[in-house]
Amino acid sequence: MSLIAVSGLLLTSCSEEFLDAEPQSFFTPGNALNTSEGLNSLLSRALVNVRAEYYGDGAPMITENIFSEVAIEGTTDKAGPAQDLNLQILPDANLNSGNTNRIGWFWENFYENIKFANTVIGRIDDAEFDSPEQRSDVLGRAMFHRAYAYYRLTHQFGDVPLVLEEVTSPRLDFVTTHRDVILDFIQNELNQAVNMVSENSNGGEVNKGVVLHLLTKVNLTQGDFTEAITTASQLIDGGKYALMTQRFGSSAGDAEKDVTWDLHQVENKSLPGNTEVILAGVDRLEFRGVGSAGNGTSVMRQATPLWWRFINTPDGQNGMSDEPNITIDQVNQIGRGIGRNRGTRYSTIDVWQDANNDERHKLGNWLDMEDLVYNAPSLEEAGNSFYGQNLELYLPDGTSLCADTIRNWYGFPRYKLFVADPTAVKPSGGHGDWYIYRLAETYLLRAEAHFWNGDNASAAADINMVRQRANADPITAADVNIDYILDERTRELYYEENRNTELSRIAFIFAKTGRAAYNGQTYSLDNFSQKNFWYDRIIEVTDFYNIPNLKTVFGVSFTMSPFHALWPVPASAINANTQGRINQNEGYPGVENNIPALTTIPEPEKDS
């Protein structure tokens, strides 16, 4: 037969390159962290976490509030929210949920920010910079973020692991470092960073003023009160910042309002004319999904009472409705609150006893439940005489018209909580900027430093700067003590400051200095988890943890112990660290496995 030729294609892969499929739609450290822009992007990511504390459903800042005297968890229709703290605050409970608490969120996100900072610091020499100033600005801001995270962690959790390098291979042998070592370290770094970080920056970015504000807090917690006065004064007297005392911004022309109102409208917080803002989280509707914070502040949902249900008229009819666009539309005025962050009697009534002309408690800026009106359309239809009348809590015989006064009945600062929510049918609090550091707090920090230094006159002067701007009555040196400073912080910084961290800082100062507190007690670091000012203060002034047999409508009690001054280290961190020992805080299961915390800075880990 014939000879037949057959041909075919035989494939061989003679090159290893065939298998090198490069990632196309994402960057890797190898190709993107060797530029100043790459490193800066890590630091911007750290700011995403800093901002996130103030935003969203069950915002982490609420946990800071409920672990203090200004608020409690007001979700009363179920078990799970952080109310019965003795029962619920455990290392292996769900510590990162809007329905429980955000203790785990702080742990995870602050350590994530430490990673960003460590990565930038470790790779700073890999990148090229336009100028030495640019390099030192990036490096200084990385040091700020590391210090910010450790400042918070050492007040929330006490002694924690000190990680100072980017960890690029599996490591499971971490141990806990004493908080004094960590605070010494970050105080030293912040002192360097003050001279490295540029004076001016974009709004929302870390600059020298931001570093000084944090350094003031660190100086205070270290007991370096004179240094704290120095750093605070650099901010206050530097010429760049000043309290806002004149009407400004979007509401400047509204004669009904005042400067206190102007100051807290989200659209005014980052205005060029606002000299009071030191650091704001920037969040705008038009950047939703591409830079904004999730679904926005959600602040009205979180902190406004659940006013739209279970409130009866004096003639026993349902009084309230959260329907929008009805004849008396209240939901668009104050939002559809769920009362998660429930202000205590202390923060909503007691600190306002002598408010007089204080704008922060002026009707309209502040709303008590009696300022709302019965608005249910069913009342309107029935021609009920209470329709449109102000709410009442009691009948003349004392019968309560609201079955759940925890969740449904308390006053709130509308001037702070109102954030328009144009894409929601029932507003929760939309996108808007939020203060993270504001000069009013710097004044109150300096006042505190003066107080600790025994200079009550200077302290009173600083406090009066804040009070007078709000048209509140000035005080005298004789009025100044920690009780008053905490009260003034509540009035000025409610739903703004990190209340648990700051209260804890003061408790540590009492324990460290051994100074007698206004309540007659003295404290020591030796038994901090058994006796501390943090716990005594909360029990002294709040009306929940200190009332026996108080129960939510569901039946949960409010309990708290001194050891809650330090939160439990999440079990996940301890369990995964199989070759070392991360200590648990006293009072929580697992503490028996602790080993002594390091008292020196740990040696850098050698990568194998």
Q: Which residues 359-398 are close enough to bind other proteins by CB under 8 A?
A: 376-378, 395
CB atoms within 10 A of CB 328: 16
Residue 255 near other proteins by CB under 8 A: no
Pairing state of beta strands 277-281 and 71-73? unpaired
Residue 336 near other proteins by CB under 8 A: yes
Residue 204 near other proteins by CB under 8 A: yes
DSSP designation for 221: H
**Judged by CB under 8 A, which of 122, 203, 587, 602 binds other proteins?**
203
From the list 63-71, 227-235, 452-460, 573-581, the region that binds other proteins by CB under 8 A is 573-581
Residue 4 near other proteins by CB under 8 A: yes
Considering only residues 500 through 539, tell me which ones interact with other proteins, judged by CB under 8 A.
none
**Judged by CB under 8 A, which of 133, 167, 593, 607 binds other proteins?**
167
Pairing state of beta strands 412-413 and 434-438? unpaired
Q: Return the HEC string of 108-124.
A: HHHHHHHHHHHHHHHHH
Shortest reach from residue 301's CB to other proteins, in Å: 9
Residue 11 near other proteins by CB under 8 A: yes
Considering only residues 274 through 293, tell me which ones interact with other proteins, judged by CB under 8 A.
280, 282-292
Considering only residues 403 through 462, tell me which ones interact with other proteins, judged by CB under 8 A.
403-404, 422-426, 433
Q: Name 84's bridge partners.
A: 559
Amino acid at 283: D
Shortest reach from residue 605's CB to other proteins, in Å: 10
Residue 247 near other proteins by CB under 8 A: no
Shortest reach from residue 211's CB to other proteins, in Å: 17
Helix (H) or strand (E) holding 148: helix 132-156
Considering only residues 61 through 100, tell me which ones interact with other proteins, judged by CB under 8 A.
77-80, 84, 87-88, 90, 92-94
Closest to other proteins by CB, 114 or 472 = 114
Shortest reach from residue 52's CB to other proteins, in Å: 11
Shortest reach from residue 407's CB to other proteins, in Å: 11
Are 368 and 313 in contact, with CB atoms under 8 Å apart? no
Residue 358 near other proteins by CB under 8 A: no
Note the residue count of the chain.
Answer: 608
Cα(62)–Cα(73) distance, rounded to whole angstroms?
Answer: 8
Residue 294 near other proteins by CB under 8 A: no
Cα(491)–Cα(475) distance, rounded to whole angstroms?
Answer: 14
Residue 228 near other proteins by CB under 8 A: no
Closest to other proteins by CB, 44 or 134 = 44
Structure tokens at 170: 């599996």
Shortest reach from residue 515's CB to other proteins, in Å: 34
DSSP designation for 280: E
CB atoms within 10 A of CB 228: 25
Shortest reach from residue 330's CB to other proteins, in Å: 14
Cα(153)–Cα(157) distance, rounded to whole angstroms?
Answer: 6
Are 159 and 529 in contact, with CB atoms under 8 Å apart? no
Residue 122 near other proteins by CB under 8 A: no
Q: Which of 507, 544, 505 is nearest to 522 (CA)?
A: 507
- Structure-token match 């004669």, residue found: 255
